Chains A and B, each alone.
Chain A
Amino acid sequence: MRCEEIQEHLVELLYDAEGALSPDLQSHLRTCLACRREFEELKQTQKQLQIWKDESPLRSVSIVRETSLRDRSSWRYLRYAAIAAMAAICFLALANTQVTYDRSGFSISTHLFARNAPERNFYTKSETREIMKRAANESEEVNYLMMQKVLDTVERERWIDARLVPTRAARNGNRD
């Protein structure tokens, strides 16, 4: 057995003396002073290492940690739910945004839920035409009420024209 081959066996001998002391190893250690010295030095090192004793941990392990992690994850889900709810509210508000233009100008309003259309006190042109056709067959009282509304419609359209015509004129004037 050569000295280079003995390293592994020295470790075995150091930790498991009985099992590793083969006749080959025994005879090599008897005859090789260098290997014998090395073995003694390893034993000495091992002894010195043993001076450093174990000590107790500074604190006991807290097993609460996993539970607190679970709690933290449920808080996280609650936070996500709150964000989702806010996003839904914003979406509904934007989806029901109403932009109107009337005598007082433009107005924008938002509602979470769609509102019923406000009741009108006038007819559109197509409705007016329809009413005029039907009026021929209705009683006088009904005709009177219908005509009132038609007149309101005409009045409203006149008002809108009065607002629009100067605007158009001004625009055309600028173009000229």
Chain B
Amino acid sequence: MIETEEAVQRFVRGEEEAFSQIVRRWERKIYNLAWRMVGNREDAQDIVQETFLSAFRSIKGLRDPGSFPTWLYQIALNHCRARRRSQNPNVSLDNPGADQSGAEGPGYSGIPAEDRGDALETIDIIQKALAGLSEEHRSAIVLKEYMGLSLEELAKAMDCPLSTAKSRLYHGLKDVQRQLKRLGIK
């Protein structure tokens, strides 16, 4: 994290190449955030590009370099929202199974080949369960479960009080639970 802070400071001082370092450090995270939010790899890739372009343009206005991660997540979430608005929601969010990009399904790397059959199905169901959530609940789940933010950071990234963040997380988890049951996972 200190690396990122230093890179942000160097970029603000005028070292443009420091931004490449920031991108290399954060593009994977932002891609996975966007992918889980919009449910489509190509859209997620576009969102990564748009997020870093926005960050490049406005990073000099960032007062506290230490808050860069939550600031970047906010930008990415805004782009996810904008993309959702600009598209037919049936394509990217409510019907994530429509994702045709990539030879394999979501997140299979790291799963042993013999277990992939069950995992494929479970991951597909999880993707569908997340897609069935409201945007606020999905953001809370993705930021906390997959991006590993603390509860305080979650509240900051979602721009809401801590108690609201906790409540969104709780109800998000309950919704996922309901969706998983509906889709046949207990």
Q: Interface on chain B toward A: helix, strand, loop, or mixed SS?
A: helix
How long is the Cα–Cα vector from A16 to B146 in the complex, in angstroms? 16
B107 close to A55 (CB less than 8 A): yes
Instruction: Please name all residues of chain A whose beta carbon is closer than 8 Å to the beta carbon of B57 when the two chains form the complex.
Output: 66
Q: Is residue B73 within 8 Å, beta carbon to beta carbon, of the partner chain?
A: no
Chain B residues contacting A15 (CB-CB under 8 Å) are 144, 151
Bound together, the chains give a CA A56 to CA B45 distance in angstroms of: 10
Interface size class of A (residues with CB under 8 A): 20 to 34
In Å, the complex CA distance between A103 and B27 comes to 81
> Does B20 make an interface contact (CB < 8 A)?
yes
Q: Would you call B166 and A45 a contact (CB within 8 A)?
A: no
A61 at the interface (CB under 8 A from B): yes
Query: Which of A6-14, A105-113, A135-143 makes up part of the contact surface?
Result: A6-14
Contact B122 A66 (CB under 8 A): no
Give chain A interface residues in 37-62, CB to chain B under 8 Å.
41-42, 45-46, 48-62
Question: Chain A interface (Cβ within 8 Å of chain B)?
Answer: 7-8, 10-12, 14-16, 41-42, 45-46, 48-63, 65-66
Interface residues of B (CB under 8 A from A): 19-20, 23, 27-28, 31-32, 35-36, 41-42, 44-45, 48-49, 52-53, 56-57, 101-102, 106-111, 119, 122-123, 126-127, 141, 144-146, 151, 163, 166-167, 169-170, 173-174, 176-177, 180, 185
